[in-house]
Chains A and B, each alone.
Chain A
Amino acid sequence: MKLTKTLVLVLSLCLMLVSFAHAGKDLDAVKSKGFIQAGVNGSLFGFGMPDAKGNWAGLDVDTARAIAAAIFGDASKVKFTPLSAQQRFTALQSGEIDVLTRNGTQTLSRETQLGLNFVSVNYYDGQGFLVSKKLGVKSAKELDGATICVLPGTTTEQNAADYFRTNKMSWKPVVIESTAELAKTFFAGRCDVLTSDASQLAGTRAIAQNPKDYIILPEIISKEPLAPAVRHGDDQFRDIVDFSVLAMINAEELGITSKNVDEMLKSKNPVIQRFLGTSPGNGKSLGLDEKWAYNIIKQVGNYGEVFERNVGVNTTLGIERGLNALWTNGGLMYSPPFK
């Protein structure tokens, strides 16, 4: 019957789009398919967002590129899946993506109930409030009765609820799924306050028609360690993701940048030699090429470079290093020794 034939044909076409990944270890699966699938935000400027030509950019995007550089020696061997807040964990659990680099906050319940492993933090954030100057508000304590724009289902929403409860204030949430829509709604004056991670507030403020009309209140009401996450079950892969993040931090500590990394190969410093794989060992332990850290720094850059390129003071976002400075500069970025 023609119908049946048609159906079979169409179905077989569809099957082309079904991918049967390697069952078993995530690392083997990633290696055999030849690229890494990373889940990213998709609409968060500075962290993960495509430009109009579809080229991805952002801190989280670069983290994913670093992982690809570590595994394949090629930072371009990565594909990005934009995910909503709602989809992100399922996408990781189901294996649709290999690693989630989507400004996710590490929490106890996410590690335990969702079966995720967060690795080292690639951005320390905290939740703040953005308000219009016209309101004349100086502190978050004065926000009683305010209407607040907030993203749904994130830790942000809970933090705000907790904060207002603790301070015995009332508020009215306006809950909108997409970051961009939310900012638009806030600027139009639908809410008095926009609450989100401080990094996002900076970004939102920067895109206002007149950024000077808005201020970020001094209170930071929560801790938001944003970290990449992988599934439970493959510790080796977890280690690789973890040390890819750490390698960028370590490189900054050692003063290695994408510009001077080739010279650094000739360095006599045993720490640098171990790090860049001129004296082998680290690569083998991770199951990677000895050049893995070199590839990350050469192709993506160290943490400082990545930070400045995507969110730093010279970008639209204009964020200071703050908590994200190296520990030597009073920040929290600290890498264990690479030996």
Chain B
Amino acid sequence: MTEATTAKRAQLKPPISNVGVVGWLYTNLFSTWYNSLLTIIMLLMLAWSVPPLFQWAFVDSLWNSSAAACRDIDGACWSVIPNNFRFIILGFFPEGQEWRPILAMVLLLGLVIYSKERSRWKKSLAWLWLINLIVMGTLMYGGVLGMPVVETAQWSGLPLTLILSFFGMIVAYPLGILLALGRRSKLPAIKTLCVVYIEMIRGVPLISLLFMSSIMFPLFLPEGVTIDKVLRALVAIILFAAAYIAEVVRGGLQAMPRGQYEAADSLGLNYSNTMRLVILPQALKIVIPPSVGVLLSVFKDTSLVVIIALYDVLKTTMVTLSNPEWAGYSKESYIFLALLYFCFCYAMSSYSRRLEKELHTGH
């Protein structure tokens, strides 16, 4: 008897409101009257905004036409991108030499993707990065192996954006570590210097540092000595990023339990060995995810060099738009650029989150 009931019960289907599409809809969208209301409002808003956008972007749009053809349509004129693609991406890089910045970018992105796996994080990887950066620099600047010299004034577009952010980050990192160590130091003079530096830089907007590099810095140097414009902007970005990295690294240092220091002391390690062999390897591991965050914000912040008239990828886009033929298609161009930035930043930020999770469980 009991067995039969059980069997019969087992055959009963779960209520329709718990499984399948309906169940999913019920639990996720219409569980309470209040949730249903929200869902309906949301759907109405989407219905109101998405179709016209879709119409504008895909139906009424032109993808590869002349500027004249664009004047007659209501939709988006995406043609502005393919028609100016080379200039937006590479800017003023001389004709016939395009392979150099492209190869440099491919090398960089390749290495970024290669470095994703944690199993590859070894000393050799650091050397690989260093070599890669030198190769990148050589490719861009030229002057060897029959490559004509390309002045930094002609570095523009996406390569400039990448160079400013990656070179900036890589030089800023050691500086940031030193600053963080300085801030945690017991020596009052060192500590004061580092604290003043970090707080000062973090207290001012990047644009003021860029102004400093572009209009003030030349006056600091002795007569006759000048520093390249791109390099000056790079220095400003490095000084800026170092202060933020210092704070991130300090977080890692503070997370180290006292026992680690005491253990190192009891082994008779001196300060530099304690830091190098015991503290930093552990602390830096913790701060990798937030460091990726700093890289992200540096990458986004490089767009500010527009204001000091460097031709990064945003500026080349704006130059394109100042061409009377293509003026008036700002929205399309900016959306394209936003997508470009978004793809990169989103990849980095989701990577950083994944890493955080992995490192967390490993703890």
Interface residue ranges, A against B (CB under 8 Å): 1-3, 6-7, 9-10, 13-14, 16-24, 29, 42-43, 50, 52-54, 79-84, 86-87, 90-91, 93-96, 177-181, 183-184, 187-188, 207-209
Q: Judge whether B278 is part of the interface by a CB distance below 8 angstroms.
A: no
The answer to whether A96 touches B327, judged by C-beta atoms less than 8 angstroms apart, is: no
The answer to whether A184 touches B309, judged by C-beta atoms less than 8 angstroms apart, is: no
The answer to whether B87 touches A21, judged by C-beta atoms less than 8 angstroms apart, is: no
Tell me how far the C-beta of B224 lies from the nearest C-beta in chain A, rounded to whole angstroms.
4
Question: Known interface pairs A43-B319, A83-B309, A180-B321. Does A3 touch B226 (Cβ–Cβ under 8 Å)?
Answer: no
CB-CB < 8 A to B27: which residues of A?
none
Interface size class, chain B: 35 or more
Complex Cα gap A148–B93 (Å) = 37
Give which listed residue, B71, B130, B231, B319, contacts A18 with CB less than 8 A.
B231
Give which listed residue, A52, A53, A90, A181, contacts B318 with CB less than 8 A.
A181
**Quick one: which of A7, A9, A17, A53 has the most chain B CB within 10 A?**
A17
Give which listed residue, A3, A43, A53, A188, contacts B322 with CB less than 8 A.
A43
Complex Cα gap A81–B87 (Å) = 18
The answer to whether B219 touches A90, judged by C-beta atoms less than 8 angstroms apart, is: yes
Give which listed residue, B170, B224, B308, contacts A20 with CB less than 8 A.
B224
Q: Judge whether B191 is part of the interface by a CB distance below 8 angstroms.
A: no
Q: Judge whether B324 is part of the interface by a CB distance below 8 angstroms.
A: yes
Complex Cα gap A86–B123 (Å) = 45
Tell me how far the C-beta of B125 lies from the nearest C-beta in chain A, rounded to whole angstroms.
12
Further pairs besides A95-B225, A207-B324: 14, Cβ < 8 Å:
A9-B130, A13-B134, A18-B225, A18-B227, A43-B319, A54-B91, A54-B94, A81-B153, A90-B215, A90-B219, A95-B218, A177-B307, A180-B319, A184-B322
Interface string of B185-215 (1 = CB under 8 A from A): 0000000000000000000000000000011
Give which listed residue, A29, A81, A180, A187, contacts B229 with CB less than 8 A.
A81
CB-CB < 8 A to B134: which residues of A?
9, 13
Enumerate B141-161 residues with CB–CB distance to A below 8 Å. Answer: 141, 151-154
CB-CB < 8 A to A80: which residues of B?
153
The answer to whether B321 touches A184, judged by C-beta atoms less than 8 angstroms apart, is: yes
CB-CB < 8 A to A177: which residues of B?
307
The answer to whether A52 touches B87, judged by C-beta atoms less than 8 angstroms apart, is: yes
Interface residue ranges, B against A (CB under 8 Å): 71, 84, 86-87, 91-95, 123, 126, 130, 133-134, 137, 141, 151-154, 167, 170-171, 174, 177, 214-216, 218-219, 221-231, 276, 307-309, 318-319, 321-322, 324, 327-328, 330
CB-CB < 8 A to A95: which residues of B?
218, 223-226
- A187 closest partner in B (C-beta): B327
Tell me how far the C-beta of A181 lies from the nearest C-beta in chain B, rounded to whole angstroms.
7
Tell me how far the C-beta of A87 lies from the nearest C-beta in chain B, rounded to whole angstroms.
6
- A16 closest partner in B (C-beta): B141
The answer to whether A87 touches B215, judged by C-beta atoms less than 8 angstroms apart, is: yes
Tell me how far the C-beta of A182 lies from the nearest C-beta in chain B, rounded to whole angstroms.
10
Complex Cα gap A178–B167 (Å) = 28
Tell me how far the C-beta of B89 lies from the nearest C-beta in chain A, rounded to whole angstroms.
12
- B235 closest partner in A (C-beta): A14
Complex Cα gap A183–B330 (Å) = 13
Tell me how far the C-beta of B238 lies from the nearest C-beta in chain A, rounded to whole angstroms.
10
CB-CB < 8 A to B87: which residues of A?
52
Complex Cα gap A79–B152 (Å) = 11
The answer to whether A13 touches B309, judged by C-beta atoms less than 8 angstroms apart, is: no
CB-CB < 8 A to B123: which residues of A?
2
- B221 closest partner in A (C-beta): A94
Tell me how far the C-beta of B307 lies from the nearest C-beta in chain A, rounded to whole angstroms.
7
Complex Cα gap A18–B322 (Å) = 32
The answer to whether A53 touches B95, judged by C-beta atoms less than 8 angstroms apart, is: yes
The answer to whether A2 touches B309, judged by C-beta atoms less than 8 angstroms apart, is: no
- B173 closest partner in A (C-beta): A3
Complex Cα gap A61–B231 (Å) = 25
Interchain Cβ contacts under 8 Å between A and B, 7 examples: A18-B228, A42-B309, A79-B153, A96-B218, A184-B330, A187-B327, A187-B328
Give which listed residue, A22, A84, A208, contacts B309 with CB less than 8 A.
A84
- A82 closest partner in B (C-beta): B309
Tell me how far the C-beta of A177 lies from the nearest C-beta in chain B, rounded to whole angstroms.
7
Tell me how far the C-beta of A274 lies from the nearest C-beta in chain B, rounded to whole angstroms.
35
Complex Cα gap A328–B327 (Å) = 41
Complex Cα gap A80–B229 (Å) = 12
Tell me how far the C-beta of A47 lies from the nearest C-beta in chain B, rounded to whole angstroms.
14
The answer to whether A96 touches B226, judged by C-beta atoms less than 8 angstroms apart, is: yes
CB-CB < 8 A to A18: which residues of B?
225-228, 231
Question: Known interface pairs A6-B174, A91-B218. Does A22 touch B228 (Cβ–Cβ under 8 Å)?
Answer: no
Complex Cα gap A184–B330 (Å) = 10
Complex Cα gap A111–B229 (Å) = 25
CB-CB < 8 A to B133: which residues of A?
10
CB-CB < 8 A to A54: which residues of B?
91-94, 154
